[in-house]
């Protein structure tokens, strides 16, 4: 199977999520091919899940919507996107890599990512066997969920999935380093719970720089991820966004920057 490969420069949160959603819509409409998109965030941005209540998740004042924080169209919990490479897999539901439901798709995508990470020297990257999230925690990285990548039981890659109109979007974070303290400080938690979360993040989460002799270059991580997908049978062809996708993404940016969208729960 052949997919389009998009390598995008760092961008604000609203831009990144608008692009993911515009591509999802185009793939669903049959006007764009299955796509692997790799990108980064600038400035650092906290994203919250589609169903998370912003007022009970974010410490006040949260900053500018779409820039300092943003609501994802996918589920899951809060993630601080800072020093990371983000992947987005966007395909029709009938694509072999994502067929068979949410968990089956997540496991196949996770296997491709694991193969790629082994090329970086992360030999022990494996899929989490089952759901193990801490109840009540607003943060994503304090424990692995089913089909997410772990190393020695500690979460390395967190992901979220959205299915719409016959197409699938799964995007996730591959952290080069983890700023646990900033994530904990940006969430609406009593100080005692903040300390508990920080301890859980230290115990349950990790990043590439903590597993390798030196922090890898983001470009090297992207090369490894591409190699991982190709080794599981995905042929990746460098491509570009269509004019229609670019125009739709520009319109969607307004949604991801709006108070109405970001505070809707």
Looking only at the bridges linking them, the beta strands covering 69-71 and 167-175 are unpaired
3-state secondary structure 125-151: EEECCCCCCCCCCCECCCCCCCCCEEE
- Between helix 243-257 and helix 13-29 the angle, nearest 10°, is 130
Q: 28, 106, 140, 189: which one is catalytic?
A: 140
Give me the residues paired with residue 175 across strands. Answer: 84
CA–CA distance, 265 with 245 (Å, rounded to integer): 28
Backbone angles phi, psi at 158, to 5 degrees: -105, 140
Cis peptide before 256 (omega within 30 of 0): no
Active site residue 45: no
SS3 233: coil
Cite the active site residues: 140
């Amino acid at each position: 199977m052949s997919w389009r490969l998009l390598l995008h420069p760092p961008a604000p949160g609203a831009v990144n999520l608008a692009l993911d959603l515009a591509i999802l819509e185009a793939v669903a409409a049959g006007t764009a091919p299955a796509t692997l998109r790799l990108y980064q965030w600038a400035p650092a941005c906290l994203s919250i899940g589609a169903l998370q209540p912003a007022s009970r998740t974010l410490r006040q004042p949260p900053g500018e919507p779409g820039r300092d924080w943003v609501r994802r169209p996918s589920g899951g919990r809060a993630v601080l996107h800072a020093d990371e490479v983000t992947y987005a897999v966007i395909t029709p539901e009938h694509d072999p890599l994502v067929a068979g439901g949410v968990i089956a798709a997540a496991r196949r995508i996770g296997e491709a990512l694991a193969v790629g990470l082994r090329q970086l020297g992360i030999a022990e990257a494996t899929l989490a066997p089952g759901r193990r999230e801490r109840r009540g925690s607003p943060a994503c990285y304090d424990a692995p969920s089913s089909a997410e990548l772990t190393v020695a039981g500690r979460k390395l890659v967190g992901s979220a999935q959205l299915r719409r109109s016959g197409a699938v979007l799964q995007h996730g974070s591959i952290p080069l380093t983890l700023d646990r303290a900033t994530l904990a400080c940006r969430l609406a938690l009593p100080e005692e719970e903040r300390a508990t979360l920080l301890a859980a993040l230290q115990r349950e989460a990790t990043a590439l720089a903590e597993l390798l002799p030196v922090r890898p270059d983001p470009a090297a991580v992207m090369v490894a991820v591409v190699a991982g997908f190709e080794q599981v049978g995905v042929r990746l062809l460098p491509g570009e966004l269509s004019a229609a996708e670019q125009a739709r993404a520009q319109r969607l940016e307004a949604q991801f920057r709006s108070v109405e969208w970001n505070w809707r729960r």
